[in-house]
Amino acid sequence: MKAIHIIAILAILLLVGCAKQIPANPQTPVTPQTPTTETPVASTPTTPQDTTPITPAETPAGPEEVITLSDKTAQPGDVKVAVGGSVTFKNEATNRPHLIIVDELGERSSRLETGNTFTFKFDKAGKYTYRDLWIGSLRGTITVE
């Protein structure tokens, strides 16, 4: 007899536990909540339509050099600019982004998609090495005189 009572209580508990929850307000459906994760948002580089380059300084003070980036190379690889001058990197790769770092400046470009540009300004004489974060063989020297 006790076994029948225990089985009946377990059956009732099982039915209650599996029953569909009814919302307090029948007009508002209950939707299960799924956990969300935040995705980091990348900064937006300049676009081909925007002719104002993103630069660490306001306006280049000297002559400008342009280095064109392809899928795996930079042309020209080495350039010279005057103190106060700037170097603009332009990505003309078919479908490869670039991210240029100039260690001596402690700066890096934004993510350069095809057609985007980024300009570094050089206020002190010296030799500066640039490199692509994602393509180790893409590197060169900027001489500021």
Per-residue pLDDT tens over the stretch 35-68:
444 444 444 455 455 444 544 443 333 579 999 9
Q: How confident is the model at residue 110 (pLDDT cuts 50, 70, 90)?
A: very high
Domains present along the chain, CATH in parentheses: 64-144 (2.60.40.420)
User: What is this structure's pTM?
Assistant: 0.57
Give the pLDDT of residue 139. 94
- Take residue 108 and report the two structure tokens written for it: 């890096």
Phi, psi of 5 (to 5 degrees): -65, -40
Q: At residue 104, does pLDDT exceed 80?
A: yes
Classify the C-alpha dihedral 61-64-69-72 as positive or negative. Answer: negative
Average pLDDT score over residue span 108-116: 95
Q: At residue 121, does pLDDT exceed 80?
A: yes
